[in-house]
């Protein structure tokens, strides 16, 4: 059936190809002396945006607002209505952030800075003119003596990056950002540019991390078929929180953390699995998210040849002991014991699927199906698993799921 010409023209006019592109530039100046950064937003044509309604939070991180046009701040909200023509909004943001223990989750020192790009520009509701597309870039002005900056975004010039997130209408910097005198190691894994970076003298084992990622990568992509253009792994030591935290397209790893612990688990691989899987759960189904993360963090290492059979059996025995007293998996936040029991259940499900499908299918097929959903609960997980199995699952009749 042929479409009328007017319908084709209407579709073409609505296409993003015909959208008016308006530059949105973020200029970031790092200020080690005050523990802050100065951020300046520049819209090439302010009339393209009716308003930006920012969520400033309640921690008082943002201050010193100056705007062309109208700026209204009330409580945790700040609304900018830009002036016509080239227009600006500037402010300062506190980068130094600490836990109660005193450890930094975000820090700027005289030699380096490590923070989440999400901090620089607060989330906002964008109200823009129809047929407009904002083209966002970020440039970073480094203090004197600082050599470079790394982000999870593609570099388009000296210390300048293109910010483009297809899942958001309002593009803003996200993910970990590291600046200063840095040491970096790079590799192309699959279709992804991987960078491991840390400030010089912070004890980061860059080549060790890159080697582990190289071994695991083919197995990671076989389960989670994603091809991000870039992955950034950053680390530091002095004063930083002793943990591992994933950001958008990036991971922070404290320099002292082992790549693989004595128990055979890997914090780095756990965060990598979460970054690639992006499985969101609801309705007291946190056991599923935590269980899949822990299961694949070790399973991928085993598939890559990083765990011997006897060491794998020791890990199995530890799970059995840790999860032996668990009678219920359903909870808003899974405990360590519940996660151990969840891993055992997932292992049993994987074995059941492989047996009944003559190894043509596995838990990997269930996981890939879960990745396609915006969110999932326990009942939906059971339905998908039994669809892959093509029969009722005996494993999933367990009382711990009721």
Beta carbons of 149 and 35 less than 8 angstroms apart: no
pLDDT by residue for the chain (402 residues), tens only, comes to 445 544 444 444 444 556 799 999 999 999 999 999 999 999 999 999 999 999 999 889 999 999 999 999 999 999 999 999 999 999 999 999 999 999 999 999 999 999 999 999 999 999 999 999 999 999 999 999 999 999 999 999 999 999 998 888 899 999 999 999 999 999 999 999 999 999 999 999 999 999 999 999 999 999 999 999 999 999 999 999 999 999 999 999 999 999 988 777 899 999 999 999 999 999 999 999 999 999 999 999 999 999 988 889 999 999 999 999 999 999 999 999 999 999 999 999 999 999 999 999 999 999 999 999 999 999 999 999 999 999 999 999 999 998
Cα angle vertex 261, ends 255, 262, to 5°? 140
330 burial via Cβ count (<10 Å: 0-12, 13-18, 19+): middle
Q: How far apart are CA 46 and CA 24, in angstroms?
A: 10
pTM: 0.91
316-355 pLDDT, tens digit each: 999 999 999 999 999 999 999 999 999 999 999 999 999 9
Q: How far apart are CA 51 and CA 70, in angstroms?
A: 9
Exposure string for 377-395, b = 16+ CB within 10 A, e = fewer: ebebbbebbeebbeeebeb
Enumerate residues 6+ apart whose C-beta is below 8 A from 279. 288, 289, 292, 367, 370, 371, 373, 376
155 burial via Cβ count (<10 Å: 0-12, 13-18, 19+): middle
Task: Parse the chain into domains and list their residue ranges.
Answer: 20-94+117-173, 279-401
Look up the CATH number of domain 279-401: 1.10.390
Q: How far apart are CA 174 and CA 116, in angstroms?
A: 6
Scan for tokens 């409580």, then name that residue: 75
For 2, 35, 100, 104, 340, the CA distances from 57, given in Å and listed in that order, are 53, 19, 19, 19, 36
Q: In this structure, how many other beta carbons lie within 10 angstroms of the beta carbon of residue 62?
A: 21
Tokens of 175: 């993910």
Topology classification of domain 20-94+117-173: Immunoglobulin-like (2.60.40)
Q: How far apart are CA 377 and CA 289, in angstroms?
A: 10
Secondary-structure percent of the chain, ordered helix, strand, coil, rounded to 5 = 30, 30, 35
- C-alpha closest to that of 52 among 159, 128, 132: 128
3 state SS of 207 = helix
Q: How far apart are CA 97 and CA 95, in angstroms?
A: 6
């Amino acid at each position: 059936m042929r479409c009328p010409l007017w319908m084709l023209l209407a579709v073409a006019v609505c296409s993003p190809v015909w959208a008016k592109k308006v530059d949105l530039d973020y200029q970031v100046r790092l200020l080690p002396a005050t523990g802050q950064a100065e951020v300046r937003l520049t819209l090439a044509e302010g009339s393209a945006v009716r308003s930006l309604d920012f969520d400033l939070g309640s921690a008082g991180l943002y201050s010193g607002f100056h705007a062309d046009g109208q700026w209204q701040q009330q409580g945790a909200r700040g609304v900018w209505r830009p002036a016509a023509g080239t227009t600006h909004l500037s402010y300062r943001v506190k980068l130094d952030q600490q836990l109660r223990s005193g450890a930094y989750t975000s820090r700027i020192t005289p030699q380096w800075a490590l923070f989440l790009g999400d901090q620089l520009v607060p989330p906002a509701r964008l109200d823009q003119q129809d047929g407009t597309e904002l083209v966002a870039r970020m440039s970073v002005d480094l203090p004197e003596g600082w050599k470079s900056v790394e982000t999870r975004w593609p570099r388009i010039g000296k210390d300048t990056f293109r910010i483009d997130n297809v899942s958001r209408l309002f593009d803003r910097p996200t993910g970990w950002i590291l600046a200063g005198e840095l040491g970096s190691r790079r590799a192309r894994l699959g279709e992804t540019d991987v960078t491991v970076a840390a400030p010089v003298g912070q004890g980061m084992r860059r080549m060790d991390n890159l080697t582990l990622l190289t071994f695991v990568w083919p197995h990671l992509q076989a389960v989670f078929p994603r091809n991000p253009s870039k992955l950034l792994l950053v680390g530091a030591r002095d004063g930083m929180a002793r943990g591992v935290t994933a950001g958008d397209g990036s991971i922070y790893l404290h320099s002292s953390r082992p790549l693989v612990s004595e128990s055979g688990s890997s914090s780095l691989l756990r965060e990598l699995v979460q970054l690639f899987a992006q499985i969101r759960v609801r309705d007291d189904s946190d056991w599923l998210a935590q269980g899949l993360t822990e299961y694949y963090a070790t399973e991928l290492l085993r598939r890559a040849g990083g765990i011997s059979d006897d060491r794998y059996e020791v890990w199995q025995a530890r799970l059995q002991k840790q999860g032996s007293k668990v009678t219920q998996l359903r909870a808003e936040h899974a405990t360590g014991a519940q996660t151990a029991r969840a891993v055992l259940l997932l292992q049993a499900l994987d074995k059941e699927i492989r047996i009944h499908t003559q190894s043509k299918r596995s838990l990997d097929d269930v996981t890939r199906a879960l990745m396609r959903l915006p969110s999932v609960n326990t009942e939906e997980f059971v339905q998908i698993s039994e669809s892959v199995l093509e029969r009722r699952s005996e494993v999933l009749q367990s009382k711990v799921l009721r």
